[in-house]
Amino acid sequence: MTDEPFSVEVTISAPVGEVWNALRDPEQIRRWHGWHFDGLDKEIEAIYRQDVVESAAEHRLEVQGGDRFELADLGGRTRLRITRAPRGGNPDWDAYYDDISEGWVTFAHQLRFALERHPGADRRTVFLSGRASTPVLQAAGLAAVAGLPAGSPYELAAPTGETLTGEVWFRSARQLGLTVDGWGDGLLVAAQNPVSPAAPGGAAMMVLTAYGLGNEEFAALEARWNAWWERHFPAEPDGQAG
């Protein structure tokens, strides 16, 4: 059975050539795609380099599975649209259709953030995932700002004991993105992923991105968020990143 394919669209304050390069150069992709783990370089190669169909002239890219990236030149800004292949073509892909769709939402907003706020800069990330016994926005104390429009300033007490300040970066049906001043103008993405074969009750996920923190400062950030997460969200059997 097929239905209307999922799509996500963002407008990036960067020229179309810069956005295209950020989709084609593996070194640049590492600065925004997902989060760091041992297999990140292989994942980038598999998604963005192997068996892809690209048109540099039209700024269009089709990756494995038929998902399509299209860039539109808006005169100094760029509209990125990611369109999923329809369901029904491959049962193995269909089983994880919603999870993959949510991944593209995260990645699109990470790309925009990297190009607009930290062009050419390396990052550090913390990835947290587990079974969603409690809605992640509620557990993390983020529900109070979830209704604010993008661009709104916020200040809240995080469950780790720190005060977070910044602005709402994006809001989608299942995700919330917040910039975080104290993480070197970093980014917090929280997602309530749908039910899937890997998570029959649904899953919670966070990606924390930091810039310019020293080793000890980043280690402390990682430790306090991991400790809090482990108390609230049991780990999934397969913690593979996406």
Q: Is residue 156 part of a domain?
A: yes
| pLDDT-based confidence at residue 90 (cuts at 50, 70, 90) | low
- Tens digits of per-residue pLDDT, 128-154? 999 877 889 999 999 999 999 999 999
- Distant-in-sequence, close-in-space partners of 166: CB < 8 Å, separation ≥ 6: 153, 154, 178, 179, 180, 181, 185
Least confident of 18-22, 121-125, 203-207: 203-207
Last residue of a domain, which of 66, 91, 117? Answer: 117
**30-42 pLDDT tens trace:** 999 999 999 999 9
Please tell me the predicted confidence (pLDDT) of residue 195.
Answer: 56
Q: Work out the percent of the chain whose per-residue pLDDT is above 90.
A: 78
Q: pLDDT at residue 17 above 60? A: yes
Q: Please tell me the predicted confidence (pLDDT) of residue 93.
A: 67
Above 80 in pLDDT, residue 3? no
> 92, 53 in Cβ contact below 8 A?
no
Final residue before a domain boundary, out of 96, 117, 138 = 117
First to last CA, the chain: 26
pLDDT on residue 196: 58
Do 208 and 132 lie in one domain? The reply is yes
- Do residues 55 and 110 both lie within one domain? yes
Contact at 8 Å (CB) between 181 and 188?
A: no
Q: Are residues 40 and 134 in the same domain?
A: no
Whether the predicted pLDDT of 18 surpasses 90: yes
**Number of domain units in the chain:** 2
DSSP string, 90-140: -HHHHTTHHHHHHHHHHHHHHHHHHHHH-TT---EEEEEEEE-SS-HHHHT
